[in-house]
Amino acid sequence: MGTVDLVSYMTQALYLVLWLSLPPIAVAAIVGTLFSLFQALTQIQEQTLSFAIKLIAVFATILLTARWLSAELYNFTISVFDLFYKIH
């Protein structure tokens, strides 16, 4: 296993982290923006309410995408372990 292979797997790992973290981050940004707009329109000044809504939305997103997240992580882990097997 050369340097090129190691860099390739590290690049794949970073792209996987970026791809898997995209749904919760996008949902948090969208819900946060919409709820902030709602707070501005209704003049509600409670900061913890916004945090609680975003927390619930992110938790729901992780629950809904858990099957896809775990499948992607499982496939990447299997490919890394197969690489370890090929080394020895």
pTM for the model = 0.80
Tokens of residue 68, six digits: 């896809």
Q: Where are the beta strands (DSSP E) in the chain?
A: none
For residue 26, what are the domain limits?
3-87
Quick: pLDDT tens for 10-67: 999 999 999 999 999 999 999 999 999 999 999 888 888 889 999 999 999 999 999 9
Whether 1 and 87 have beta carbons less than 8 Å apart is answered as: yes
pLDDT at 1: 67
The count of structural domains within the chain is 1
